[in-house]
Structure 1
Amino acid sequence: MKRIAVLGGGNGAQALAGHLASKGFPVTLFEHPEFRRNIFRLEETKTIELTGAIEARGTLAEVTTDPAAVRDAEILYFLAPSFAQEAVFSLIAPFLGRGQRLLLMPGNFGSLVLKETFGGRLPEGFLAAESDTMPYACRIEAPGVVNVWGIKNFMAAAALPASGTGDFIASVQDAFPVPLKPAPNVLSIGLSNTNMILHCPTMIMNAGRIESGNGRFRFYAEGMTDSVCAVMEAMDRERMAVGKALGLNLLSTMDDMKELYSINGESLRETILNNGAYCGHGADSPASMKYRYLTEDVPYLLVPVFEIGKKLGIPLPVTESIIRLASVIAGEDYLVTGRTLGGLDLDGVNG
């Protein structure tokens, strides 16, 4: 069976590593040395148990912080946060080469950054691709135990360049838990990540509730009220306008959720409430505004979308307002420090 390396030690990474290991794949779980605490217990047990929508137990071949461990992997799945991409790329780059396939989940334009890590040209015979999401809605409940709330019907993926997408999907599909569908290119993938629509305005508009210390709440079911959804829909229209200007027919956040989870709804709010993967469990809201729903989704998703729109002459006033509010909260100007895509080869995405 194909040798797999899963990069990252968080919810999605542990779920995927455990799931693939339970199916018999030899899986190495790699985490950046600075975040070894995420895998400390797994280094001893090498066992991950999945509960909920998936009931399985997988034994990993290796759990490590040594980047050389990825050298022998045929397929690499990257599920670390976007803010860790550059740091991890710099560690693993010397061990990547011909025949390997790397999938970033979510990519958030990270394949363009990886290309720059190699001086503007990926290694000969090496293929990198992106998806706009990960297979599972899940949370780590205890060391080595991941509760899977739901699994997606499919995921979209695109290689860099897009001419390699068919080859990439054919190479990894038998070692991936859900069907992969080809997307036009990695720009389409980045623009299709609806986390920026769902997470960012919900965090901003529930800031008082999150910081009050009065207990956590159901982020999707209770935090995404009619007013919050109205802001989401305004941002969604701006995102889709950027896609249209690039010749991309992007799904709305509501339609995307319906397709991924086979649910119905007459409005975004109703569709969210009908999603058992998000609303079928207890309190799950962040305990702080210093959470990846802002610290990752604003600088690595909203900022590049805003910058692309600006370049195309498309106004994104609601998106910009969320970026600026998040910047004030973080004490950091995300329009300066975020992924602006300046200097990256956007013209090379299609081949």
Structure 2
Amino acid sequence: MDGRKLSRHFSRAEDLDSEGTLKILVCGGGNGAHCMAALASSRPHVDVRVLTLYADEAERWTQALKEEDMTISITYSEDNIEDVKSRPSLVTKDPAKAAEGIHMIFFTVPAFAHAQYLQAIAPHILDNTLLIGLPGQAGFEFQAVKALGDKAKQCAVASFESLPWACRTLEFGRHVQLLGFKEALGAAILIGSKSNLTSHSLDIIQFIFGENPVFKVINNYVAINLMAKSIIHPPLMYGRWRRYTDEVLHEKPLFYQGVDDEQASLLSKVSDEVVMTAKVIESKRKNIDMSAVIHILDWYREYYCHEISDHSCLKNAMQTNKAYDGLLHPMKQVATKGSEGFVPDFNYRYIREDVPFGLVVMKGIAQIAGVDTPTIDIIIEWAQKQLNKEYIVGNRLNGKDIGETRAPQVYGFETIEDLFHI
């Protein structure tokens, strides 16, 4: 895609240079931000800046770039790994400098950090800017629109159901490894009523990422909220640890590939409740397509079709998924009776993030649709005890800490009509 084609998707053509350069901002300093910054910087006609607000990350990254360009090691197969050199034009903790003239802003930070970045850059965002949650996690659109205020009408918000690749930082600011691509990835875009952006803006993101994953445009943002993969971790954590009584383990158990019948059943029931929510919304709101919200087993069969050797049931699909090889439960190391062992880490993102910015949001949408979610309720009730929070009381989201989540009720949405008039 050349500069002229890039410019067609943006109304601020005066901001493009003579070659039609696209200016993007990557928010964050972790694995995803490193991968996004390095990959996007390697594309022609794309100028990349990085905003990281955490500690001294901006200074460290800037210093690293003074010594040499970034390297992104892209794994296409076991025998095909390509090293690509690139560099962002600016790494800073100054939101005003970071956002100057920017067309697209990628939020590659955990969901709990979205508010900090949105508040920092909101005053500097220009009209017809596209904000992208990568991944957005459930409720990203609610939070982004709230942070932008009236400016939301002149912008657009997109959200992806998960990260497009597995990646890890090998050396901060210098070397990141892209371990593998998802084959497909769902994305939805919410366009402000006065914005000149269109859904074709997602074509530019496809250009930045390359051939894989192939983006699937989801017809409405409510569906992408119900598709968020934060439904996976909490049921597996609950199923594995709900009877836990402080014993110390000698080794870390497998996470996905250690799934048993009970955990698979819990995840399947959660998925059933989410799919039912989508179907009820579709039945109550004509001309709304929620068909992209599919059962989690069907999702595995579609998105990991070449990675899974046994597609017969959910348990087998997870246990035989090569993309999950060797991944373990989040654990903390402890010393006891002269030896070391492991205990579960209930403050890990599988609960700390995937419940208030995942299951609670889905529960909120289901509550609006009038759909009962007994399995989701049980898992939220267990998880909130581990977090020392209260989101749910009985089967209603009216706990004292609900304001710390992104449930639609926090933003004043009480009806299905409210959801579609954001």
Q: Given the two structures, how large is their TM-score scaled by the length of structure 1?
A: 0.88
1:187 is matched by which residue type in structure 2? V
Q: Given the two structures, how large is their TM-score scaled by the length of structure 2?
A: 0.74
Counterpart position of 1:323: 380
Change (3 A) 1:91 1:45: same
**Once the two structures are superposed, what CA deviation does each residue of 1:74-100 show, in whole Å capped at 9, x if it has no partner?**
221111111111221110001111232
1:212 is aligned to 2:212:
no
1:254 is matched by which residue type in structure 2? L
Secondary structure at the counterpart of residue 103 of structure 1: strand
2:88 equivalent among 46, 56, 60: 60
Q: How many Å apart are 1:254 and its aligned residue? A: 1.8
Sequence identity percentage = 24
Counterpart position of 1:275: 321
1:87 is matched by which residue type in structure 2? Q
Unaligned runs of 5+ in 1: none
Report 1:1-351 matches (<5 A): 1-24=21-44, 25-32=46-53, 35-36=54-55, 41-46=60-65, 47-50=70-73, 52-53=75-76, 55-57=82-84, 58-68=86-96, 69-107=98-136, 108-124=138-154, 126-143=155-172, 144-161=174-191, 166-177=199-210, 178-196=213-231, 198-207=232-241, 208=244, 212=248, 214-222=250-258, 224-247=259-282, 248-249=290-291, 250-263=293-306, 264=308, 265-279=311-325, 281=326, 283=328, 285-287=330-332, 288-335=345-392, 336=402, 337-342=404-409, 343-344=411-412, 347=418, 349=420
Contact 1:161-1:348 within 8 A present in 2 as well: no
2: CA distance between counterparts of 1:271 and 1:188?
Answer: 24
1: CA distance between counterparts of 2:369 and 2:327?
Answer: 42
**Once the two structures are superposed, what CA deviation does each residue of 1:291-336 show, in whole Å capped at 9, x if it has no partner?**
1111111011111111221222211111011101010011111332
Contact 2:104-2:130 within 8 A present in 1 as well: yes
**Once the two structures are superposed, what CA deviation does each residue of 1:71-129 show, in whole Å capped at 9, x if it has no partner?**
222221111111111221110001111232221122222122221223355152x2221
- Which structure dedicates a bigger proportion of its chain to helix? 1
2:352 is matched by which residue type in structure 1? T
Contact 1:82-1:296 within 8 A present in 2 as well: yes
2: CA distance between counterparts of 1:339 and 1:106?
Answer: 15
Alignment RMSD: 2.7
How many residues align? The count is 345
Contact 1:7-1:80 within 8 A present in 2 as well: yes
For the pair shown, which has the larger CA radius of gyration, 1 or 2?
2
Contact 1:204-1:326 within 8 A present in 2 as well: yes
Which structure is richer in relative contact order (CA contacts within 8 A, separation 6 or more)?
1
1: CA distance between counterparts of 2:317 and 2:255?
Answer: 15
Secondary structure at the counterpart of residue 27 of structure 1: strand
